[in-house]
Amino acid sequence: MNDPILSSWLEQQALEAAELDRESDVVSISPVGPAPYQRYVVEYNCTGLVKTERGVEEANRFAVGIYFPSDYWHRVRPAEVVTLLWPVNLWHSNAKFPHICVGRLFPGTGLVDLTTQIYTIITYNNVSIREDDALQPEVSAWARRNMHRFPLENRPLRRRKISLRVTDAPERMGTARRDDNSGGEMRGDNESRTHEKENREAD
């Protein structure tokens, strides 16, 4: 590749993709071809919908191809950048095999951003309910009648990091105390109370 700026940007995308792949239970990102990678396959383990002969059903495996052409920094052709690989019967107003409309796409939009946008579409966090703004107008009409079902899930792409801080347990109060009249000897509660009772009786 003769474009050093694009090469550097692609290398950064690969690093960010590898990081997200490590930190996610939702997506798996695999580069394709020689480095610097211009093609990726992104697999999603999440809840989406498909249309079968039985009707609209839930599914949990989806795959999308992402391609960064050599002129990606200058112009964007969305149908070239994002391709639905499977399932071919994805049920969403923004998708019709092999196309997925991720909305307005700007030159230089990164891989992680694209991955996130596609996730919001699959899980119905993002859905067009206008027939004149849909790849599958019939899905828009269906979605308006089923808004109570959405989103299908909203897990974050990255696992939440849990920070645990372990501290010493505080010493149990009153289990033992110093007897100031015995040269520093420690005694338990029962012994102390018995001694105090004897002193009161003696008085």
List pLDDT tens digits, range 28-52.
999 999 999 999 999 999 999 999 9
- For residues 128-155, give the mean pLDDT: 95
Q: What percent of the chain has pLDDT over 70?
A: 79
Q: State the CATH number of the domain containing residue 105.
A: 3.10.110.10
How far apart, in whole angstroms, are the C-alpha atoms of residue 148 and residue 145? 8
> Domain check: are 110 and 192 in the same one?
no
Locus of tokens 């909203």: 154
Mean local confidence (pLDDT), 90-107: 95
Task: Provide the pLDDT for residue 62.
Answer: 98
Same domain? 10 vs 86? yes
Same domain for 136 and 191, yes or no, is no
- DSSP annotation of 124: T
Are 41 and 131 members of one domain? Answer: yes
What mean pLDDT do residues 100-119 have?
Answer: 95
Expressed as residue numbers, the domain containing 13 is 4-149
pLDDT of res. 203: 53
Q: What is the dihedral of CA 163, 164, 167, 169, to 10 degrees?
A: 140
Do 190 and 96 have their domain in common? no
Integer Cα distance of 42 and 20 in angstroms = 11
**What is the number of structural domains in the chain?**
2
Q: What is the average pLDDT across 147-174?
A: 80
Dist CA 20 CA 22 (whole Å): 5
pTM value surpassing 0.85? no
Distance in angstroms (rounded) separating the CA atoms of residues 91 and 142: 10
Task: Establish if 92 belongs to a structural domain.
Answer: yes
Contact indicator for 117, 102 with CB cutoff of 8 Å: yes
Q: Are residues 182 and 129 in the same domain?
A: no
